[in-house]
Amino acid sequence: MRILIADDEPLARTRLAALLHDCDGAEVVGSVGDGDAAMGACAKLRPDLLLLDIAMPGLDGIGVARRLAALSDPPQLVFCTAYEKHALTAYELRAADYLLKPVRIERLREALARAEALRRRATSGDATLLAHAHGAPVKVPLRDIIWLSADDKYVTVHRAAGDALTEQSLKTIEETFPDRFVRVHRGCLVPAERLIGLKRDPDGTMRALIAGSDVTPEISRRNLAAVRKLMRGG
């Protein structure tokens, strides 16, 4: 994987490059110190992955991510920052991962694996789910699905463009796209790339945090271990 590093601290860039040297398949193709330089390097070098700091002079990391999101073929993105507060924004911008400094090599390897899986998925073409919206058939790209919920007869496809209905069962969807969704309870699937965290209610109930939605579906005891494993990069 061809990797570009963008960080305004030279020592941070040097340390990341050293860690990447010990990651199989990682090739550092460039290292820059600000957001504008990162945009230029992305256009020139066409990296597979950008390791991006947030607090940089001029165009910051969030600004870079928003500009890259407008491109037809942007690199995968992993934020490397000292601040936790931007994590939700990062995942809404489809970041593959969010690493806190000082970056540990175990977490870096997990982030690289996740970014590589997303890159392969993107280059192989995005699959779709056949559904109906406003009485008309529609093919919903899997990348547009925020979460899926089941009732007695139909599965509701929740997306930013409005809910749609599909006759495919959650089990069928789960088996057809085993690497794309995680089951949080018997009536709910969440896209793996949108699962950004867990929270515990005062009564002990565990809930899933989903990028792009305020809905926090309950995680059943039966599925909690698998969800936690996914969150650890397993």
Q: Contact at 8 Å (CB) between 57 and 7?
A: no
Mean pLDDT of the 106-135 span: 84
Q: Give pLDDT, residue 72.
A: 66
User: pLDDT per residue over 172-220, tens digit each?
Assistant: 999 888 878 999 999 999 998 888 889 999 999 999 999 889 999 999 9
Nearest-CA neighbor of 215 among 113, 139, 146, 165?
146
Q: Give pLDDT, residue 3.
A: 98
pTM, two decimals, is: 0.57
Domains of the chain (ranges; CATH) run: 2-123 (3.40.50.2300), 128-231 (2.40.50.1020)
Nearest-CA neighbor of 97 among 83, 85, 118, 114?
114
Mean pLDDT of the 133-145 span: 90
